C-alpha cells in the first residue's frame, strides 16, 4: 500500500530531514558545508521558502522551513 501524499500548505511549518544513503556522510569537509549553505540561501530565494533554522550534521541535515507557495516538494528535490 502506498503512502498517502503529503499535503504542503503555504505558510505551514515543516521539519525537513535528509540523511545520507546508508547513513553515510554527506558533508566531508567544511567546504562541503559552505557549498550547501550557499545553495540553501539560493533555495530560499528561488522557491520563496523561508528558512528559519537549520542544523548540519556529518551524515544528515535538519531544516525548519515555511513555504510561501505550494512548492515545497519541488524545492526540496532541487536542494
pLDDT of residue 76: 92
The pLDDT value recorded for residue 7 is 74
Q: What is the DSSP string of the chain?
A: -PPPPPP--TT--EEEEEE-GGG--S--SHHHHHHHHHHHHHHHHHHTEEEEEEEE-SSEEEEEEEESSS-HHHHHHH-
Interatomic CA distance for residues 68 and 6, integer angstroms: 16
pLDDT band of residue 8 (cuts 50, 70, 90) is confident
Pairing of strands 60-67, 14-19: antiparallel
pLDDT of residue 51: 96
pLDDT at 61 over 80: yes
With 90 as the cut, is the pLDDT of residue 71 above it?
no
Cell of 75: 524545492
Task: Supply the mean pLDDT for the chain.
Answer: 92
Amino acid at each position: 500500500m502506498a503512502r498517502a501524499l503529503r499535503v504542503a500548505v503555504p505558510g505551514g511549518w515543516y521539519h525537513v530531514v535528509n540523511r545520507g544513503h546508508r547513513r553515510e556522510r554527506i558533508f566531508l569537509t567544511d567546504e562541503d558545508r559552505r557549498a550547501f549553505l550557499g545553495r540553501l540561501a539560493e533555495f530560499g530565494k528561488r522557491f520563496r521558502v523561508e528558512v528559519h533554522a537549520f542544523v548540519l550534521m556529518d551524515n544528515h541535515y535538519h531544516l525548519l522551513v515555511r513555504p510561501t507557495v505550494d512548492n515545497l516538494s519541488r524545492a526540496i528535490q532541487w536542494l
